[in-house]
Structure 1
């Protein structure tokens, strides 16, 4: 079976059916070699590998047989390590190509397959990494994610939740990748909604983060923490009662992680805060009291596009509802140098949230006076009267302008000189 001709002859000569119809072969597979026919069972698997390698039609014929799916799951559930390895190698032939992955999606019971592959996380050897590698390949396919939706919350999610709640017991090397697979599944809006609304899922994430922090610092613990935080960033995109309920513990977790010196950990932590805080006013107060404003200003000063996006959004949320947050910004960034720099960003999201944050802070008595020698009025006018694609940029800039001139009347002279009144009138349609 080393060349294409023989592989074709095997198929056209009913090789698959001959094997499938043989009672001894079927029994050796269904009992996974436990009746003494281990060598026969392994030989059949390796024959399947040989005829399917680089032959997509043979791959299709094998999976299309009504008995193959059940036989594969029997092999994956075997107690023999070598049967595991060869069965996983057979599946790897399929997951390496798009057409092969399509066949898996079409012919196999996907929830059952996911459960079977996750079971290998309990083994300390390479079987865990191989199984998770297969899941990683499959999870990239939209069709795979779509077909998991109906049984996801009842069949698949509990298996992943078990992993999160027992990270100290499962294969440490493959664990970060398994959580990353769950993160890929959360890109599907339906499954993300189911995960995010699952109280056990949030509880498991928090427990897993705690265990990561208790573990001896190292690359494996860091990779696992990074993966869990990435999952939580995705889940917190949703808005639901469970997130509101867990906003306090999640915020407490994030505040502890903000002391990390790892840039990737900090970015994802700030991403979680930017999604969770808008859903819970009490959590905002906890974060502000815990010194989140000082941390955010440090991150904004250091730069980094993604971190800046998350940080300025979080700061805008905090300053909108918390007087202490506004006062903290004024006290720690006295001339608004950090915010002024962000107003020249090419990102409209950054500019819009910075304008909102600045407008909030200008409500603090005396804050506007610190900007008298700056070109803040020109900058805000440019954004308010510009042609930004996001109207929030113009709206927030216009509001900040109004608060600037209200708080410090000396700006009114400059505003008239720059025809600012006309500009503001023209963008009033963006202001509710």
Structure 2
């Protein structure tokens, strides 16, 4: 009897422990699964241990179990949890497919976001962890990728070859070669020998290259001028092994990058000739031939070591030119350079393409090199091919590509070169970025918009953009819907507002038609980001432009009259001026706006102080506001007549004097006190003397 009691108590203790674990593991999916497995085990043991006595074909059950109700509740709870988990897994896999699609279309950041969303729903699917690890390796988030691989192992009981390969790749990228080798060897044990062997070969090559670099860089001689000269001469000799060439240019890249003065020893040893077509004097060698005959096809046929040489050469070229711009111009003048540039950009090799883009970006940042690039494009008629090549991208380097275009279009001649094919190359990129802004980083969107805005300085290009209704629609949509949380988000908003501001200068009917749409979209910016001075400045500046073109916009900005008055006291002079100009524009366009202005400033006291401003633009705007709103005020503010007459007498601007004179006329016309004040201040004499040549 005691033994039965002890058994029952132990069983009851197990049940209570299982229920406790089920409740406490709600937030951790892995622990929850362990708790559910323990509960299932108890249920199976109980079913197996049930004893029944059969007498005369009649079942006689043992006495009823006091824990039966609890066990039944636990079984029902386990079944419910299993069903819920099944639904979570299905939803997580659905979102995973969205991530897969984003990755395939070239939006790794969006793919990472989708995989993270899927994992927030269900953490037990190994494929989602491994997919996110792949994306994070591509985004160079190696430590985060390793964490994802660890989670994939937990979810698969350490039986996930894909996670093992990803782990090895991430560790290899971090230089943790022993750990990477261990991961690839474990993958062999998991049945993926051929795949793992290919990665072990890559690991061996990278390891040897790294060891050789460290060996050379640990010696003092690499920092000596004579050594740099010696290895540079070796670089130009014919018949060397490709491995030797790769080692030398790798050493040069690092040594010259660390010790800038060594660049001149490299140049003195004629090292720059490795980047130029042989002229019969320079000895042609295999490395030089690899460089000057570079094409997309040759890169595709090259071995990994050859393509590593090309990537390193691009980086070395950038290091040298940073210290000596004329040598960069010299290489760009070489007949083979345009083909080398296009071949690198058009290749399918991501490393070569990235190294090339980074070097060209530096060139485009320096005025002399930028001008030389444009001359080369113009001379060889390769700008279209170059633009196609840098924009034909999977989404990873579009930001860098557009920054290059931004820099190039600082030169008016280059903007004109872009005219012919703008609608077929750059504009589709703009539309694609705006359509997929939610899948891209805000920083990337901001840089693309900045590039296009810079190009709008060209009248022809601006007309192309302005005439595209889809551009208006998408830009306004992004302003109205995109998040505004981070600094990059704010930069994106600021650039979009600047983009619309430049578009609004166009005098076409399309701008007038789209003005209300723009006003509604930037209204959101005034609501959510009015504390940011740059956003506020761009919003008010844009409202100034569109209100002058379409008075319907005034019906929107009128709701922010008080905010504009607050801006009149702002510390930034340009913000004060724009706010005053917008209030004046509103008063000029709409009587309703005049009523709202008088309501916000009943005696025009806030406006009055700008009549004495040293800034003539502020005085002109204040005069216009008085001329439009004075008739709505009782009693007439005759105290404004004297400062207005002072403006008429001292302003260098005809338009400002005219506004002040009109305001004086309205204040003195219907009021005896006003006429007396005008006479006291010798107003008629001032008006007659100062307005002789002003058309009223």
TM interval, short-chain normalised? 0.7 to 0.9
| Aligned 8 A contact 1:28 1:41 in 2 | no
Greater shift in the superposed pair: 200-209 or 332-341: 200-209
Q: CA RMSD in A?
A: 3.0
2:506 corresponds to which of 199, 215, 238: 238
Unpaired segments ≥5 residues, structure 2: 1-231, 233-262
Greater shift in the superposed pair: 191-200 or 99-108: 191-200
- In the alignment, what sits opposite 2:568? 300
- In the alignment, what sits opposite 1:333? 601
Between the aligned partners of 1:20 and 1:328, the Cα distance in structure 2 is 78
Greater Rg over alpha carbons, structure: 2
Compute the displacement of 1:324 (Å): 1.1
2:677 corresponds to which of 411, 414, 417: 414
Deviations 1:196-219 (A, max 9, x none): 34323222211221232xx26222
Residues 115/345 of structure 1: CA separation in 2 closer, same or farther (3 Å cut): farther
- In the alignment, what sits opposite 1:59? 328
Residues 81/187 of structure 1: CA separation in 2 closer, same or farther (3 Å cut): same
Greater shift in the superposed pair: 162-171 or 98-107: 162-171
Unpaired segments ≥5 residues, structure 1: none
- In the alignment, what sits opposite 1:200? 470
1:33-72 paired onto structure 2 within 5 Å: 33-44=299-310, 46-47=312-313, 50=316, 53-54=320-321, 55-56=324-325, 58-72=327-341
SS in 2 for 1:168: helix
Deviations 1:295-339 (A, max 9, x none): 322322445322222222221222112111111111220111111
Residues 419/349 of structure 1: CA separation in 2 closer, same or farther (3 Å cut): same
- In the alignment, what sits opposite 1:76? 345
User: Does residue 386 in structure 1 map to residue 650 in structure 2?
Assistant: yes
- In the alignment, what sits opposite 1:88? 357
SS in 2 for 1:346: coil
Compute the displacement of 1:274 (Å): 0.2
Between the aligned partners of 2:695 and 2:342, the Cα distance in structure 1 is 60
1:29 corresponds to which of 269, 291, 295: 295
| Aligned 8 A contact 1:28 1:38 in 2 | no
Compute the displacement of 1:229 (Å): 1.0
- In the alignment, what sits opposite 1:320? 588
Between the aligned partners of 1:8 and 1:71, the Cα distance in structure 2 is 15
Compute the displacement of 1:392 (Å): 0.8
1:7 corresponds to which of 257, 266, 271: 271
- In the alignment, what sits opposite 1:163? 433
Deviations 1:221-255 (A, max 9, x none): 12211111121122212222111111111111222
Deviations 1:14-46 (A, max 9, x none): 389958999876775322622243432442454
Between the aligned partners of 1:19 and 1:360, the Cα distance in structure 2 is 81
Residues 314/264 of structure 1: CA separation in 2 closer, same or farther (3 Å cut): same
Between the aligned partners of 2:660 and 2:329, the Cα distance in structure 1 is 59
The alignment's TM-score, normalised by the length of structure 2, stands at 0.55
Residues 8/165 of structure 1: CA separation in 2 closer, same or farther (3 Å cut): closer
- In the alignment, what sits opposite 2:383? 110
| Aligned 8 A contact 2:630 2:667 in 1 | yes
Between the aligned partners of 1:420 and 1:17, the Cα distance in structure 2 is 89
The alignment's TM-score, normalised by the length of structure 1, stands at 0.86
Between the aligned partners of 1:138 and 1:394, the Cα distance in structure 2 is 43
Residues 102/398 of structure 1: CA separation in 2 closer, same or farther (3 Å cut): same
- In the alignment, what sits opposite 2:219? none
Between the aligned partners of 1:285 and 1:89, the Cα distance in structure 2 is 48
2:661 corresponds to which of 398, 413, 416: 398
Higher RCO structure (Cα 8 Å, ≥6 apart): 1
Aligned residue pair count: 420
Between the aligned partners of 2:670 and 2:572, the Cα distance in structure 1 is 32
